[in-house]
Each structure stands twice: as C-alpha cells, then as structure tokens.
Amino acid sequence: MNLQNNKKSEKKYHEELPEDHDDPLIQFLHKTIRTAAKVLAILMTLVIVWGVGDVIYVLYQRLMAPPIYLLNISDILATFGAFLAVLIAIEIFTNITLYIRKDVLPIKLVVATALMAISRKVIVFDFKELTPIYILATAAVVIALGTTYWLLTLKKD
C-alpha cells in the first residue's frame, strides 16, 4: 500500500492542476492543459531537431563560402547564435517537461533560461546598428536576471 502511494506522489502534477477535482468540468480542463503541455513538449522536440539541422547547415554554409574553411567574426557569431538558439530550445523543453512532472514551478530554471536567452542576444549584438538606450536596457535586463538567479542560488541557513 505504501509503495503505491509513493508511486502516485512521484507522478503528481501541479497542485493547480489536480487530476481529481470535485467539478468534472474543471477536471476536464486540467486534463486538457496537461495534454497541451505534452503537445508543446513534442513540438519543442521537433524544433530542437530542426534547430540542430539549422546549426549544421549554417556551419556548412559558412565553411564553404570563400575563403573555404575559414570563418570570420560575423561567421563565428552567426554560428554561436544558432548553437545558443538550440540550447535555449532545450532549456524551454526542460521547463515544459518539469512543469508536466513536478508539483512546483522550476523558477530557478526559468530564470536561467531567460538569462541564457538574453545572453545569446548580447553575444550576437551588432553594435553598429543598436542605439545606446537599447544597449542600456539590455544591460538592465541582464543585471536584473543575474541578480535574481544569484538570489535564487543563495543557500538558506
């Protein structure tokens, strides 16, 4: 009996979306939302596979363009951007699957994903085309997310 209870608690969904609810309509809606999250996970998997193909294609294009097998700075930045986009997609997939599986929202992972996304943006900045206010606003977002992540990682005594 105790083993069965442990197995049920392992597959527990968010408390906001309980499997058993008094109202049948709410129970149906919760099932629908959980199913939608699973569909999103499947779609994100397809995006990740497509993104890996894109990384390979971008890298191949850059290496085959004259001069062959040489990358300039813009080529390297484009390749980094493609790599980081796939890594961000993987983080989003992880967020979706954790949302399906766990009974708490993984706030630290969500903030880390946002930090990775804004970091990708900074890495591929073209400073010739950006305004100073855009750069300052981006810096504010990086500082805010970095501080939030740092605060989330502090150990509680």
pLDDT at 103 over 70: no
Q: Which domain holds residue 89?
A: 12-153
DSSP state of 14: -
Q: Is residue 26 part of a domain?
A: yes
pLDDT value at position 12?
Answer: 53
Mean pLDDT in residue range 91-102:
81
Residue 5: inside a domain, yes or no?
Answer: no
Mark out the alpha helices in 19-131 (DSSP H runs).
24-64, 73-101, 107-123
Q: Are 79 and 71 in contact (CB under 8 A)?
A: yes
**Nearest C-alpha neighbor of 84 from the set 125, 43, 135:** 125
- Tell me, yes or no, whether 3 lies in a domain: no
Domain count, the chain: 1
Mean pLDDT, the chain, rounded, equals 84
**What is the per-residue pLDDT for 13?**
52
pLDDT at 7 over 60: no
- Cα 55 to Cα 132: distance, rounded to the nearest angstrom: 30
CA distance 58 to 64: 10
Contact, 57 vs 99, CB < 8 A? no
Residue 58's nearest CA partner among 41, 37, 75 is: 75
Percentage of the chain beyond pLDDT 90 is 36
Q: Which residue has better confidence, 47 or 124?
A: 47
Residue 65 lies in a domain: yes
The secondary structure element, H or E, covering residue 4 is helix 2-10
The contacts of residue 28 (CB under 8 Å, 6+ apart) are none
pTM summary value: 0.73
96 assigned to some structural domain? yes
Residue 2 is assigned to a structural domain of this protein = no
SS3 114: helix
Instruction: Look at residue 90 and tell me if it is in a domain.
Output: yes
